[in-house]
Amino acid sequence: MTAVLAPTGADVAAPPRPRRRGVRAAQAATAAVVLGAALHLRLDWSALPGLPSAVAHYLWLMFADPDWSRLPYALAQTWVSVQMAWAGALAGVVVATALGLAAARGVGPGWLRLPLRALFAVLRAVPEVVIAIVILTVTGLTPFTGALALAIGGVGTHAKWTFETIEALPDGVAEAVRAAGGTRSAIVRWGLWPAAAPELASLALYRFEINVRTSAILGVIGVGGVGDLLTGYTQYRQWDAVGVLVVVVVVVTMAIDAVSGAIRRRITKGARARVVERTG
């Protein structure tokens, strides 16, 4: 065997020192933006010491003696918010999946992908509350307005998740369908969709979880649900009723998150293997 001699220290050139001017410039710009925002907002730093006691005071008002007689009505309004979230998630996921597939590289043509991605970016930049305020002039202050706002607002995010999931798939299956003479629709149906469906189903459930929390915020503008009820009780300083609403919202949201998370894990990872003991 021929011995390979390692180069001596004189033959190895030291690597150049990394230039950190760009990093330092970004750090300085970030610090300047944060400082400028703090100065522009004119924050009252003198109120910070009294903040913990004020929070403790209102927590005591809410949870010292909650008015549990409001529980049935709170549950009914929370169910309205869940229905709003589910309808918005279902409509938004259906539309976003179709548009997201068309916006994926290798599926839709370039003249279609770029406008769709620009549309998704615009929708992601507009909060659901703003969308609801715009469309309530047509639909009125109803839960349908909230569901429609959640559907439109969810299209931008879920469509982005869809085309990113499609583009992250291995090329083998799609290439096999293409080599067999399959059309673009056949590639999507038999090559891309079966591989992407579990991940897209998981993301759809995650969209529903987000909508449940957002629906409570939409209620603030009067489209119904638990947020509308919470706003009314807060304005009239009915803190014992607010405490009941907070408990209901937290419990229902955590329960939905737990169930949805378990379903998403089952979809993406499959059932857990069980050890079966053999007897005899």
Q: Residue 265 pLDDT more than 90?
A: no
According to the model, what pLDDT value does residue 152 have?
92
pTM metric for this prediction: 0.76
Q: Residue 6 pLDDT more than 60?
A: no
Mean of per-residue pLDDT scores for the chain: 82
The answer to whether 145 touches 227, Cβ cutoff 8 Å, is no
DSSP code per residue over 232-266: HHHHTT-HHHHHHHHHHHHHHHHHHHHHHHHHHHH
Residue keyed to tokens 């969308």:
131
According to the model, what pLDDT value does residue 3 have?
57
DSSP code per residue over 187-248: IIIIIIHHHHHHHHHHHHHHHHHHHHHHHHHHGGGTSSSHHHHHHHHHHTT-HHHHHHHHHH
Residue keyed to tokens 């909230």:
146
The angle subtended at Cα 205 by Cα 200 and Cα 206, nearest 5°, is: 90
End-to-end CA distance of the chain: 60
Compute the average pLDDT of residues 51-57: 86
DSSP code per residue over 8-27: PGGGSPPPPPPP-HHHHHHH
Q: Residue 1 pLDDT more than 70?
A: no
Q: pLDDT tens for residues 65-116?
A: 888 888 888 898 889 889 999 999 999 999 999 999 888 887 878 888 899 9
Please tell me the least confidently modeled range out of 33-42, 116-125, 207-216.
33-42
Q: Residue 272 pLDDT more than 70?
A: no
Compute the average pLDDT of residues 222-248: 85
Domains of the chain in start order, with CATH, are 78-269 (1.10.3720.10)
The angle subtended at Cα 81 by Cα 77 and Cα 86, nearest 5°, is: 145
Percent of the chain with pLDDT over 90: 14
Confidence of residue 230 (pLDDT cuts 50, 70, 90): confident
Q: Residue 182 pLDDT more than 80?
A: no
Percent of the chain with pLDDT over 70: 87
The answer to whether 220 touches 141, Cβ cutoff 8 Å, is no
> Which has more pLDDT, 117 or 273?
117
Confidence of residue 273 (pLDDT cuts 50, 70, 90): low
> Which has more pLDDT, 245 or 7?
245
According to the model, what pLDDT value does residue 257 have?
86
According to the model, what pLDDT value does residue 57 have?
85
3-state secondary structure (DSSP) of residue 105: strand
User: Phi and psi dihedrals of 105, rounded to 5?
Assistant: -65, 130
Please tell me the least confidently modeled range out of 46-50, 62-66, 164-168, 232-236.
46-50
Distance CA 210, CA 163 (A): 20
According to the model, what pLDDT value does residue 120 have?
93
